[in-house]
Structure 1
Amino acid sequence: MSAERQVTEAWGRIEGWLRQYAPASHAALLPGAGEAEICVVEEVYGMRMPGDLRTLWGLTGGGAGVFFGNYDLPSLGRGMEFHGNRMRFQLEDGGNDANGIPWWRPDWIPVFSNSRDSQAFVKYLDCESGLLYSWDRYGMNNYGTEKEELDSVSTYLEEVADSLESPALAVRDSPGLIDGYLVWESRAHVHPDTWRPFPA
């Protein structure tokens, strides 16, 4: 099965679960980007995006924080802004951090963030390897390390879907609900009195 088809099927499972069990989150989802918009982004980045990422962007614009830890998809504009800022920092500062990891590279594309408006914590796609890595504004970057399990966009989405459909088998994070919104257990501390695990 192609990565594009895996993404489409996994997102369909996620969206179906939201429609049935977390209608407020489902209602908050934004439509995906059109082909022309994605092409503009590719021109800015100077590369054709991997097929799994193009497929995800075409399916949804995020808006509901439905990924592990209630991460979201930043808008394409916010993603380009973040990428540009990191590249400027790389060019101005030059070289790598204390661990020998580049500050940023042109083929690192931000995909998931802790919110659409804040990118203090980011999962970015390394287009060379096709894997997602974690970055945060405090200087932590797991590129080239073994700090966590690495996913492709498609395997990450499949694990989100699996965790929603089979919470008892969830390893990375477990789903819960607050007033019709999906809130993952790792974010339950924000509203401890109203968060309920799924299924209750």
Structure 2
Amino acid sequence: MNIASIRKEYALKTLGINDVNSDPIHQFREWFKEAMKAEVLEVNAMTLSTLGLDGIPNGRILLLKDVDHGFVFFSNYQSEKGKELENLSKGALTFYWAELERQVRIKGEIEKVSSQLSDEYYFSRPYGSQIGAWASPQSQKIKSRDFLDENHKVYQQKFESEPIQRPEHWGGYRLNPVQMEFWQGRPSRLHDRILYEKNEAGNWSISRLAP
């Protein structure tokens, strides 16, 4: 297996600094719509990177659930990522849409969303997923799969006799961006990279980066 020989030449599109929206959130929405139209597999999948409690960066794939003035996702607050964000409320998101030869990188501060927004999303989920939020002690070591299955049954029975509620340890986060980079693959590895940076006044500057 010769991994070093694996190559792909990118040539689908270009990205000029005069072609992008002045607001990176709007630019993201435009690219996201194009990704949906292109039927990108798991279009809202993204890597969330946080700083581990051991000082080593930590990443995992999550699903984006909303874009307002930031990027919203949901998780167990007691999970590994939850503890890391409690310790340092900063992180990064990475989207990769191979079908369009595009990547978006986002850095920013991460905050919990309102209880109302967490409730709205929680109760929009399939009932089995609502039960799952109660049944899984996310990121904790467990003895076997049977533990999860039994826990799921326990909570199913519990909520047969009482209304289900969103667990207090489960809810949403929002990454408020301070930096966003849009990457478009180009031939000969001379990719287009457009960087947005937010200043202290809340305004965005736009620059081109060398690939």
TM-score (norm 1): 0.25
Q: Which has the larger radius of gyration?
A: 2
* Structure of greater relative contact order (alpha carbons < 8 Å, 6+ residues apart): 2
Q: Point out the structure with the larger strand share.
A: 2
Normalized per residue, the structure richer in helix is 1
